[in-house]
């Protein structure tokens, strides 16, 4: 059968969307699954790193297009699976008009968004081929995605942990692109591509943490990771000896390779966290106001640290977006600021990670 899934939200969400592919192919090994995206957050770049005969990726512009509707209809999709966030209205309408045999879509009945209203409207006029799946709070994101698959078959595997085969650079390419000679730790120093967000740890804290780790664990080097937009957050070249600054300097494939070869990863709630999880790497995630219960991968090698504040997770269930949460915080982003480097360092020592 043929499936199409929109992937227009952040890269971290797209990484977790792959659980749908795992769920579908568990009962339909010959499935053809198309992920459609504008590649704004490198979603297509990432998907092209995934080795699967079942996967097709389609890059489109976020514009209404009769030509694209015609393409959708020509494909004669059996199912359209629409996840709970990030789908532009124009794309949503075109998927409604795709002629698919069945559309399965998340809806949040407590939200009064235009997307939710439109879903109920199209359901009213096309009730036979649209199935609306409730967005459940306090549920892992991967399980929310699998709720869509469960509507297709009872055989879908409700998996919460998974590893996938990602394309890596060959050894000669890695040698050309890296001057790292010893075991190393990856450290993600930014998030949201340098945009306004309350979920990042202060850059000077990372500098202090690396200094502590360097004194305690002399055998390791440190690789700084981040998007191009993160490069302007701080002078990362000032982090000292044994530190390699890769902020804004890697392709998706190079990022995957650096993470897969690392001994350990320190990061935020981000795409790096989810990549580390699916690559089955030991990871420590520094959590602030984002929805911990929904996003934390909870694998055996995944660890976290967060503050126990009354206002923690102010972004839970999308009560606030990142910009609003940062702008309106009355305690100066204390959930991240009060997580001092010494606390992270002691967590690493206590867990015997290194």
- Mean pLDDT over 98-110 rounds to 91
pLDDT at residue number 315: 86
Question: Quick check: 266 pLDDT over 60?
Answer: yes
Computed over every residue of the chain, the mean pLDDT equals: 88
pTM as predicted: 0.87
CATH of domain 171-350: 3.40.50.2000
Tokens 């690392």 sit on residue: 262
Q: What is the pLDDT of residue 276?
A: 92
**Burial class of residue 349, CB neighbours in 10 A (0-12, 13-18, 19+):** middle
User: Domain limits of the chain?
Assistant: 2-150, 171-350
Which tens digits make up the pLDDT trace of 11-61?
A: 999 998 988 888 898 889 999 999 999 999 889 989 888 778 999 999 999
Domains 2-150 and 171-350 share a fold: yes
The pLDDT of residue 3 is above 90: yes
Q: What percent of the chain has pLDDT over 70?
A: 92
What is the spatial distance between Cα 20 and Cα 3, in angstroms, rounded to a whole number? 10
The 10s digit of each residue's pLDDT in 60-72 is 998 999 999 999 9
**Residue of 212, 218, 265 lying closest to 239 (CA atoms):** 212
240-249, 275-284, 312-321, range with the lowest pLDDT: 312-321
In CATH, what is the architecture of 2-150?
3-Layer(aba) Sandwich (3.40)
Whether 102 has a pLDDT exceeding 60, the answer reads yes
Which carries the bigger pLDDT value, residue 5 or residue 233?
5
Residue range 200-209: average pLDDT? Answer: 94
Question: Which pLDDT band, with edges at 50, 70 and 90, does 192 fall under?
Answer: confident
Q: Which structure tokens are listed for 7?
A: 């992937």
Mean pLDDT, to the nearest integer, of 119-133? 87
Residue % of the chain over a pLDDT of 90 = 55
User: What tokens were used for 156?
Assistant: 């879908």
Q: CA–CA separation, 231 vs 242, rounded Å?
A: 19
Name every residue whose Cβ is closer than 8 Å to that of residue 18 and which is 6 or more positions away in sequence.
Answer: 50, 162, 164, 278
Q: How far apart are CA 271 and CA 273, in angstroms?
A: 5
What pLDDT band is residue 221 in, cutting at 50, 70 and 90? very high
């Amino acid at each position: 059968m043929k499936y199409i899934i929109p992937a227009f939200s952040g890269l971290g969400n797209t990484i977790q969307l792959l659980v749908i592919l795992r769920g579908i192919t568990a009962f339909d090994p010959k499935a053809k699954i198309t992920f459609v995206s504008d590649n704004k957050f490198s979603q297509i770049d990432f998907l092209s790193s995934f080795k699967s005969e079942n996967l097709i990726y389609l890059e489109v512009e976020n514009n209404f297009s009769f030509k694209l509707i015609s393409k959708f209809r020509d494909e004669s999709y059996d199912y359209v699976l629409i996840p709970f966030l990030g789908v532009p209205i124009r794309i949503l309408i075109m998927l409604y008009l795709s002629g698919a045999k069945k559309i399965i879509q998340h809806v949040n009945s407590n939200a009064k968004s235009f997307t939710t209203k439109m879903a109920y409207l199209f359901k009213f006029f096309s009730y036979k081929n649209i199935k609306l799946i409730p967005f459940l709070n306090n549920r892992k994101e991967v399980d929310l995605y699998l709720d869509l698959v469960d509507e297709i078959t009872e055989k879908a595997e409700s998996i919460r942990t998974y590893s996938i085969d990602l394309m890596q650079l060959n050894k000669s390419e890695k040698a050309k692109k890296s001057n790292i000679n010893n075991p190393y730790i990856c450290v993600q120093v930014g998030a949201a591509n340098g945009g306004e967000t309350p979920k990042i740890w202060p850059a000077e804290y990372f500098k202090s943490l690396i200094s502590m780790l360097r004194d305690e664990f002399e055998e390791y080097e440190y690789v700084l990771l981040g998007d191009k937009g993160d490069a302007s957050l701080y002078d990362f070249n000032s982090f000292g000896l044994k530190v390699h600054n890769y902020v804004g300097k890697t392709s998706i494939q190079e990022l995957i390779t650096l993470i897969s070869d690392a001994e350990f990863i320190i990061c935020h709630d981000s795409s790096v966290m989810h990549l580390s999880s699916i690559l089955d790497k030991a990871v420590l995630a520094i959590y602030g106001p984002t929805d911990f219960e929904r996003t934390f991968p909870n694998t055996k090698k995944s660890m976290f640290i967060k503050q126990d504040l009354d206002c923690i997770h102010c972004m839970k269930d999308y009560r606030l977006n990142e910009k609003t949460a940062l702008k309106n915080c009355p305690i100066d982003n204390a959930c991240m600021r009060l997580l001092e480097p010494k606390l992270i360092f002691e967590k690493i020592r206590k867990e015997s990670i290194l």
